[in-house]
Amino acid sequence: MKQMARVGGRHRVVIDRVQPSVPGTREGSPFPVKRVVGETVLVNADILADGHDVVRGVIRYRRRGGRTWHELPLEPVGNDLWTGQFSVDRVGPWEYSIRAWVDHARTWRSGLQKKHEAAVATETDLQIGAALVAEAVGRARGTDAERMEALARLLGNEALSLDRRVAEALDPESETLVDRYPDLSCATTLDHPIPVRVDRERAGFSAWYELFPRSTGVSADKNGRPVRHGTLQDVINRLPEIARMGFDIVYLPPIHPIGTTKRKGRNNSTEAVPGDPGSPWAIGSDEGGHTAIHPELGSEADFQELVDRVRSYQMEVALDIAFQCSPDHPWVREHPRWFVHRPDGSIQYAENPPKKYEDIYPINFETEDWEALWIELREVFLYWISHGVQVFRVDNPHTKSFPFWDWAIESIQQDHPEVIFLAEAFTRPKRMYRLAKGGFTQSYTYFTWRNSPEELRQYLTELTHDHPREYFRPNFWPNTPDILHEDLQTGGRAAFVARLVLAATLSSNYGIYGPAFELMEHEPVRPGSEEYLHSEKYEIRVWNTEDPRSIAPVISRVNAIRRANRALQSNRHLRFHNVDNPNLLCYSKCDDTGDNVILVCVNMDYHARQGGWVEFSPPAVGLDGPLPFVVRDLLSGRSWTWSDYWNFIELDPQETPAHVFVLER
Amino acid sequence: MKQMARVGGRHRVVIDRVQPSVPGTREGSPFPVKRVVGETVLVNADILADGHDVVRGVIRYRRRGGRTWHELPLEPVGNDLWTGQFSVDRVGPWEYSIRAWVDHARTWRSGLQKKHEAAVATETDLQIGAALVAEAVGRARGTDAERMEALARLLGNEALSLDRRVAEALDPESETLVDRYPDLSCATTLDHPIPVRVDRERAGFSAWYELFPRSTGVSADKNGRPVRHGTLQDVINRLPEIARMGFDIVYLPPIHPIGTTKRKGRNNSTEAVPGDPGSPWAIGSDEGGHTAIHPELGSEADFQELVDRVRSYQMEVALDIAFQCSPDHPWVREHPRWFVHRPDGSIQYAENPPKKYEDIYPINFETEDWEALWIELREVFLYWISHGVQVFRVDNPHTKSFPFWDWAIESIQQDHPEVIFLAEAFTRPKRMYRLAKGGFTQSYTYFTWRNSPEELRQYLTELTHDHPREYFRPNFWPNTPDILHEDLQTGGRAAFVARLVLAATLSSNYGIYGPAFELMEHEPVRPGSEEYLHSEKYEIRVWNTEDPRSIAPVISRVNAIRRANRALQSNRHLRFHNVDNPNLLCYSKCDDTGDNVILVCVNMDYHARQGGWVEFSPPAVGLDGPLPFVVRDLLSGRSWTWSDYWNFIELDPQETPAHVFVLER
């Protein structure tokens, strides 16, 4: 049985069902809610007390570890629900709590007012108030204490008329004064504060461009074969173009030395031939492991130059961290306990029986040497952070243990709160959500495989209106080196443009794998496969980025629209709109103020013109203003005046399969 | 930052979102889920591990404080959701937890099977298995250890063929044997067990009959005035009739001495006249307080006889516990600190400004003497428990502090787990839910004010399909001494019968306030009021329970139907059925096995015959069997053969406004 002392028997208020919060717990503690700097946290809670007394409540919030709490009032909105909000203005861990109490001064004042109106207020009622105010004097400071003392004297002064004293009691200035010094001796505070993880703005709004350095700037010989291995310097040379397209993050697949044992050949053949460069994800050789740079890409100095030059374009480098080893990785020799050993003395390679991946040794997270392992893995991040990298794309985090990520990300962000982690976990939904709860800043999603308007509507509703909205930041990719979706294989330019617009406007974080994307690379390794033919994962490719058919100009336009419209810089206010043609998807976003409203319409039939009536009513997205209103398509520059809430649109895949309308004010 | 040691780095499984559970916490601990003895607890949880290894999980459950946990397997049902169930067979506090782990033996066996099918299994694969089994020997007991040792030897015996050994490895008996001794060194167990409160069956299935002892057995003089004060002996005399109607619980309004100071007169007048008996809720006089019996009702011996005689009918007495005091209550003198004192020296009476209730002193739950107060209040329950009372109806619990109830109920049930508490809290929904979370066994509801089919459908859906289903047990009352709903004032016999059938079949717990109900008392004190004219709260009434118009026979029939049909003894499987007339409400219930199915149709228009097509398909409620099927109306005894899933029914308020069909098998 609970000890009475622990129960706190005089604390009559109970607080329940506080939002925002993340469902589930880790070791009995709640997961943090996520926000970016400058956002507000809208708090809702059930606050209940017995009886009919007046209750008051405040939000208490602070940066974690801060000495003082800030307080802002909570207001009741009916049915025992209370609401308030606070802003988070610095990156790092925050926390908020709630305090609420039965307020006897307000209860008395409210009763006095009613009695006064019914003309039944008595001397005793005034004396009760005088006592309450006198008691509050002890909690007041400076002139407030003096003013309250005067007020108490006045209320208790029987020489004055009741009316005079009631008027003073109910005077708004008296109210404000007394409210400032409530009796908190029986106040209830939330058992545990709710953590809030505040990230920098790019965590919530970013455009990623992935490219293989070894294929960058490489021209072809007369047989069409690459004349050489691309380098970090080649990437530096391409930066102006990437910046022109409007990207924020230049993401490089692993840049480490590649193993030779069991190296994979072109098109993922199990036998490499001389000259095959191997997969960048088969990490480690005599030349080093996760903190080394593949010599053919360049030196540490080249890398440092790349980081600096990228930054000069207001972009950032993202590195790919893949915690797995080629058989040649130094860890295999130095830390044999981090791998599973088989009875024949060999180390267990990756397998998905009966398939074998002999070029990769997975790390054994059940090793008894797990503490040393964790520290060394964290060192990898810290090493690159010390070289100026603040963004990491983590390869297959769902094949490493959840407790490791929980610890590693919290531990790294403690000293480096600006660091962003993107989880590349294409796995079952709850594992993806758990990684995000455990700390990943952004997450890959199923976007690539949501290929009809209805699928996207359902998926985005889950992501932006259900519990993931508080902790899971989607990052949408129309393609990756692993995924060339059938729509891109068969849909032509319309599919590429439509998927680009969808990714870039449905999700405030998105990315493409280029130059394959802008050059509309669409040949699969074989029919029915999502692997690219001549995948860059296994060979160096030659890309003609000057090709006039490149859709780079469209990409530039879309990224410029994103930057100019705050509505597209968050997913908080996404909503879908009715349209009477199932091939069309229509949705809007607006910014927090409602000043910027974007309406997007996409034709997801890449082979035929589709038209339909779209329902879009400015009042439904929270805007005033009479009909008609003007929408301007930011892709084409054309404007329309809409005199009704239902309007006809038509989109031709031969031209541009999407409208990105801005609502003109 | 979390200490690594605390994190438990080798424990790769994470467990999240465990159901059943109750939303919210109290002092950081979860509220208990409620069940009655014999019910099962169906457990669902997300269980995740990194990678592709095979995971196993078990439910662990026990009576709280028990030394050993029982275990039952959890099974994956897809999308990382696992499910299992256990039964609770004793009253009291239980708890359950979940344990899950990566099972290397099963992972190995599953891989071996696939490799074997692909004809790529190797000697090494067998040696791995031999080592896993050998390692498990140390965890095994008795002959199992010997059998596992033999199995390990066989798997590792290179002299035997691979096929022979693979066959042995995959033999179901080997699987069962090895599965029995998993390696739990890296298992994850839920941070905190989830509490389950198991009540006796009557907590979930009960029919209450409320009556005022002082009006019982009283005849009228020639002016129609009561000739005397009824007694507990009169109640004893009426027991056969109450038992015949089929009730389980005989509930008495407060039986304590009534104060005289500021006593209320007839029809709640503020001036009592000599002879007015006062309100039983104005508790306490010189003759005693909450543990005394009003002398005019009888002696302690009479009460004891009543308790015993009620029990002889397989019924129980419920007492009304109202923690408030008349100005004459002994506590006012003995414990002045338990009340609020006004500056003029008087004690603060109850008020809802500008209304005053001067016959009642509320208890101050913020008193610094709260510990003594709590203990004394608990003593009241313990006193009556020691006199054989095991059911309490608690008056206005929402005007006493939540922490008190949390403590008191847990504390009382620790020694008296069979005690049932019914919360009479007609207040806002979250306060009602919070009282139930905090321990109340059953709860009054808004049933009385849900007067259309659509209102009832929505309300019951909330109660039986949303979170309240795990902790809030509704108790439906068509009338109470405080509430004579307008429908009963104007709806005649049809309204009484319909509300009875609705209460008794929508909710497994229900009650009526009699004899007012069976005699269809329907005069309000004034138009627009829900108070009875000549309310028994303020005067002794004369009831002619022999009146031939009494609907007691209908009540008997309905209670007999409830007892004979397990479907009506729980709300777990309530579902509503389509009907094309908005005046009709149709719903079904079935028992856990699905063997007993009841379909209820009620005409909620008490003034006109209403007919409509009802959709009822036995497959939709989980039953096989071809069309046609037979439904028998347990009220009328008539049967119908239905050859379609849509059938026409018609209900005439002049006859019986409801069907209670049983599906014949």
DSSP-assigned states of every residue in A534-572: T-TTTS-----TT-TT--HHHHHHHHHHHHH-GGGG-ST
Q: Is the pLDDT of residue A415 over 80?
A: yes
The reply to whether A170 and A311 lie within a common domain is no
What's the pLDDT tens digit per position in A45-57? Answer: 999 999 999 999 9
Q: Return the pLDDT at B352.
A: 87
Minimum Cα–Cα distance from A438: chain B residue: B14
Among B565, B589, B616, give the residue marking a domain's end: B565
Active site residues of B: 395, 424
What's the pLDDT tens digit per position in A327-343? Answer: 999 999 999 999 999 99
Q: pLDDT confidence of A374, banded at 50, 70, 90?
A: very high
Give the CATH number of the domain where residue A604 resides. 2.60.40.1180
* Number of domains, chain B: 4
Q: Which of B23, B353, B368 sits opposite A111 (nearest CB)?
A: B353
Tell me how many degrees the CA angle B66-B68-B74 measures, rounded to the nearest 5: 115
Contact (CB<8Å) A374/B401: no
Give the CATH number of the domain where residue B165 resides. 1.20.58.80
For the ranges A220-224, A334-338, A438-442, A635-639, which has the lowest average pLDDT? A220-224
The reply to whether B456 and B546 lie within a common domain is yes
CB contacts of B407 in chain A (<8 Å) are 2, 4, 7, 9
Q: Is residue B602 classed as helix, strand or coil in its secondary structure?
A: strand
Q: Return the pLDDT at B1.
A: 39
B216 φ, ψ (degrees, to nearest 5): -85, 135
The answer as to whether B113 is a domain residue is yes
User: Up-side HSE of residue A369: CA atoms within 13 Å toward CB?
Assistant: 14
Q: How far apart are the C-alpha atoms of A660 and A553, rounded to whole Å?
A: 16
The reply to whether B632 and B494 lie within a common domain is no
**CA dihedral sign, ordered A404, A407, A410, A412:** negative
Q: How far apart are the C-alpha atoms of B613 and B618, rounded to whole Å?
A: 16
Q: In the predicted model, what is the mean pLDDT of residues A362-370?
A: 95
Q: How far apart are the C-alpha atoms of B652 and B655, rounded to whole Å?
A: 5
Cβ distance B198 to B88 under 8 Å?
yes
- The residue whose two tokens read 């391409």 is A238
Tokens of A51: 């009886």
Contact (CB<8Å) A27/B6: yes
User: Up-side HSE of residue B397: CA atoms within 13 Å toward CB?
Assistant: 31
Residue B270 DSSP symbol: S
H-helix or E-strand spanning residue A71 = strand A70-78
Minimum Cα–Cα distance from A101: chain B residue: B366
Q: How far apart are the C-alpha atoms of B389 and B544, rounded to whole Å?
A: 29
Q: Which of B112, B191, B407 sits opposite A27 (nearest CB)?
A: B191
Burial pattern A264-279, b for ≥16 Cβ within 10 A else e, equals bbbeeeeebeeebbbb
Cβ distance B268 to B537 under 8 Å?
yes
Out of A248, A376, A424, A539, pick the active-site residue: A424
Q: Return the pLDDT at A6.
A: 56
The answer as to whether B338 is a domain residue is no
Q: Is residue A645 classed as helix, strand or coil in its secondary structure?
A: coil
Q: Which of A4, A16, A128 sits opposite B343 (nearest CB)?
A: A128
The reply to whether B260 and B308 lie within a common domain is yes
Q: Is residue A299 classed as helix, strand or coil in its secondary structure?
A: coil
* Cα–Cα separations (whole angstroms), residue B287 to A373, B253, B292, B309, B337: 77, 18, 7, 26, 21
Cβ distance B583 to B649 under 8 Å?
no
- Catalytic (active site) residue A424: yes
Q: Return the pLDDT at B191.
A: 85
Give the CATH number of the domain where residue A560 resides. 3.20.20.80
- Among residues A142, A35, A10, the alpha carbon closest in space to that of A91 is found at A35
Name the percent of chain A lying above pLDDT 70. Answer: 99
For A338-454, strand residue ranges (E) read 350-352, 355-357, 361-362, 391-395, 420-424, 442-444
From the CB of residue B29, how many other CB atoms can be counted at a distance below 10 Å? 12
For the whole prediction, is pTM greater than 0.90?
yes
Among B179, B212, B243, give the residue marking a domain's end: B179
Minimum Cα–Cα distance from A3: chain B residue: B407
Burial pattern A388-423, b for ≥16 Cβ within 10 A else e, equals ebbbbbbbbbbbbbbbbbbbbbbbbbeeeeebbbbb
Q: Is residue B179 classed as helix, strand or coil in its secondary structure?
A: helix
Tokens of B99: 């344990």
The reply to whether B175 and B319 lie within a common domain is no
Query: DSSP letter string over B62-131?
Result: EETT-SS-EEEEEEEEETTEEEEEEE--SSEEEEEEEEEEE-HHHHHHHHHHHHHHTT---HHHHHHHHH
Q: Is the pLDDT of residue A1 over 50?
A: no
Tokens of B152: 């390990």
Q: Which of residues 102-131 of A touch B (CB under 8 A)?
A: 102, 110-112, 114-115, 117-118, 120, 123-124, 127-128, 130-131
The reply to whether A504 and A600 lie within a common domain is no
Minimum Cα–Cα distance from B185: chain A residue: A366
Q: Is the pLDDT of residue A285 over 90?
A: yes
Give the CATH number of the domain where residue A9 resides. 2.60.40.10
The reply to whether B221 and B190 lie within a common domain is no
Q: pLDDT confidence of A5, banded at 50, 70, 90?
A: low
Contact (CB<8Å) A429/B370: no
Cβ distance B524 to B531 under 8 Å?
yes
Q: How far apart are the C-alpha atoms of B69 and B97, rounded to whole Å?
A: 9
- Among residues A210, A413, A442, A445, the alpha carbon closest in space to that of A317 is found at A210
A310/chain B closest Cα distance in angstroms: 32
H-helix or E-strand spanning residue B443 = strand B442-444
B254's CB contacts (< 8 A; 6+ apart) are B280, B281, B283, B319, B320, B321, B322, B395
- Among residues A400, A463, A202, the alpha carbon closest in space to that of A318 is found at A202
The reply to whether B502 and B477 lie within a common domain is yes
B624/chain A closest Cα distance in angstroms: 33
Cβ distance A202 to A316 under 8 Å?
yes
Which long-range contacts link A145-151 to residues 24+ away (Cβ below 8 Å)?
A147/A177, A148/A177, A148/A178, A148/A181, A151/A177, A151/A178
* Cα–Cα separations (whole angstroms), residue B456 to B203, B466, B502, B508: 22, 15, 9, 15
Q: Which of B4, B46, B401 sits opposite A371 (nearest CB)?
A: B4
Q: How far apart are the C-alpha atoms of B107 and A32, rounded to whole Å?
A: 34
The reply to whether A654 and A561 lie within a common domain is no
Residue segments in chain B with a per-residue pLDDT below the cut of 50: 1-2
CB contacts of A117 in chain B (<8 Å) are 354
The answer as to whether B354 is a domain residue is no
**CA dihedral sign, ordered A521, A523, A529, A535:** negative
The answer as to whether A309 is a domain residue is yes
**CA dihedral sign, ordered B243, B245, B250, B255:** negative
CB contacts of B4 in chain A (<8 Å) are 371, 374, 407
Tokens of B52: 């592709």
For residue A159, what are the domain limits?
Answer: 105-179
Task: Give the type of residue at B231.
Answer: T
A495's CB contacts (< 8 A; 6+ apart) are A487, A488, A606
The reply to whether B471 and B579 lie within a common domain is no
Among B543, B565, B587, give the residue marking a domain's end: B565
The answer as to whether A351 is a domain residue is no
Mutate to test the interface with A, among B7, B103, B116 (most CBs of A within 10 A): B7
For A232-277, strand residue ranges (E) read 249-252
The reply to whether A427 and A479 lie within a common domain is yes
CB contacts of A402 in chain B (<8 Å) are 12, 14, 48-50
Pairing of strands B33-36, B194-199: parallel
Minimum Cα–Cα distance from B110: chain A residue: A353
Q: Return the pLDDT at A81.
A: 97
A44 φ, ψ (degrees, to nearest 5): -130, 140
* Cα–Cα separations (whole angstroms), residue A587 to A80, A206, B45: 34, 20, 34
Q: How far apart are the C-alpha atoms of A110 and A104, rounded to whole Å?
A: 10
Q: How far apart are the C-alpha atoms of B253 and B645, rounded to whole Å?
A: 47
B503/chain A closest Cα distance in angstroms: 25
- Among residues B269, B242, B278, B290, the alpha carbon closest in space to that of B536 is found at B278
CB contacts of B184 in chain A (<8 Å) are none
Q: Which of B23, B366, B434 sits opposite A12 (nearest CB)?
A: B366
Cβ distance A179 to A107 under 8 Å?
no
H-helix or E-strand spanning residue B308 = helix B300-312
3-state secondary structure A477-499: CCCECCECCHHHHHCHHHHHHHH
The answer as to whether A97 is a domain residue is yes
Q: How far apart are the C-alpha atoms of B361 and B346, rounded to whole Å?
A: 11
Q: pLDDT confidence of A3, banded at 50, 70, 90?
A: low
The reply to whether A169 and A194 lie within a common domain is no
The answer as to whether A345 is a domain residue is no
Contact (CB<8Å) B4/A374: yes
Q: Return the pLDDT at A620.
A: 78
Tokens of B105: 């033996």
Q: How far apart are the C-alpha atoms of B571 and B569, rounded to whole Å?
A: 7
CB contacts of A362 in chain B (<8 Å) are 51
CB contacts of A81 in chain B (<8 Å) are 430
CB contacts of A106 in chain B (<8 Å) are none
Cβ distance A70 to A143 under 8 Å?
no
Q: Which of residues 370-429 of A touch B (CB under 8 A)?
A: 370-371, 374, 398-404, 406-407, 410-411, 414, 428-429
Contact (CB<8Å) B431/A48: yes
- The residue whose two tokens read 């009796």 is A183
The answer as to whether A336 is a domain residue is no
Q: Which of residues 279-308 of B touch A (CB under 8 A)?
A: none
Mean pLDDT of chain A: 95
Contact (CB<8Å) A16/B404: no
What's the pLDDT tens digit per position in B168-181? Answer: 999 999 999 999 99
Contact (CB<8Å) A118/B354: yes
